[in-house]
Amino acid sequence: MSDTALIETARDFNRFYTNFLGLLNKAYLDSPYTLTDARILFEIGSHEGISAVGLARDLHLDPAYLSRILKRFRAEGLIETNPDPADLRSQIITVTKRGHAQFKELGRRANAQIAARFDTLATGEPQAVVSAMDKIRALLDPAAKPAPAVIRPHRAGDIGWIVQSQGRFYAEEYGWDLRFEALVAEVAGKFLANFDPAMEYCWIAERGGVNVGSVLVTNGGDGIAKLRLLYVDKAARGLGLGKLLVDECIRFCRQKSYRELSLWTNDMLETARAIYIKAGFRLVSEERHCMFGPEANGQTWVLTL
């Protein structure tokens, strides 16, 4: 896509999204306030006290324009102001009880607006929208902090996500064919069908409500556990999630008194192999294969617990 086309597409998205949220409406969220009014009240309500100078700076507003809005807010009983001891030319602004109630009401209406939009989407699509928003902000705002990752047990829909995400990733990155996705589906399906919560577990790494990683421990019998389907999405690389997931597997297996934890991988997966080596796994066998199309070198690693 040419630079001109990229710019036009970005502008088209901006027009769509401002209309989507009703940002150009004079009455924002069917309230008596404009978008600028609501944003100013939000900023004041989010702080115990904020200076007029700081407010104008943070919102990139003309001080005279801001002063007129603040004067109206005072007249309506939404805010109160006191001299700023650090700058006598400025004022410290706080919301009144009435202003706080209005601040909360605008927040409720904004949440309801987004919830209503999400209710029209299919399962998983709201998470995809939020993930795209996170990516846009991360790319355009250097100061944006990524949402923290959490590790949780699997729930309905997660196993299907594991099959889909790994099938797509390995096809795109390594050219593996559908036989790999079939293998993932087989392993995941057996895990669900025969799940023994006393001796098996599935961990899902989630960030901002979006799945970004996973791993399974299955019972291989005779005191041997198997680490299966370790995966970290490209959007979450560099956060240490792979190591965290493997550490969870090891901790779980020791708690359940397994004597050995084994896994099968391929030597081109260097990041995963580095995690296994650092955790104390040792290579016990390897073989060339073409199970998924391109020739690869499969490896079996074992950790004595």
DSSP for 188-244, written as a single string? HHHHHHT--TTT-EEEEEEETTEEEEEEEEEEEETTEEEEEEEEE-GGGTTSSHHHH
Q: Rounded CA gap, 276 and 58, in Å?
A: 47
For strands 224-232 and 210-221, give the pairing. Answer: antiparallel
Q: Rounded CA gap, 194 and 212, in Å?
A: 25
Are the beta carbons of 58 and 67 closer than 8 angstroms?
A: no
Q: Per DSSP, what are the bridge partners of residue 264?
A: 300
Angstrom distances, CA of residue 65 to CA of 37, 39, 102: 11, 14, 21
Are the beta carbons of 283 and 304 closer than 8 angstroms?
A: no
Question: Exposed, middle or buried by CB within 10 Å (0-12, 13-18, 19+), for 283?
Answer: middle
Per CATH, domain 3-120 is 1.10.10.10: yes
**Confidence (pLDDT) at 154:** 93
Q: Where in the chain is the domain with CATH 1.10.10.10?
A: 3-120
**Confidence (pLDDT) at 146:** 66
Token representation of residue 222: 């005779």
Q: Rounded CA gap, 22 and 289, in Å?
A: 57
For strands 260-266 and 224-232, give the pairing. Answer: parallel
In this structure, the number of other CB atoms found within 10 A of the CB of residue 108 comes to 11
Helix (H/G/I), strand (E/B), else coil: 259: coil
Hey, what CATH class is 149-304 in? alpha beta
CA angle 126, 132, 136 (to 5 degrees): 145
Q: Where in the chain is the domain with CATH 3.40.630.30?
A: 149-304
Low-confidence ranges of the chain (pLDDT < 50): none
Name the pTM for this structure. Answer: 0.62
Helix (H/G/I), strand (E/B), else coil: 22: coil
Q: Rounded CA gap, 230 and 169, in Å?
A: 12
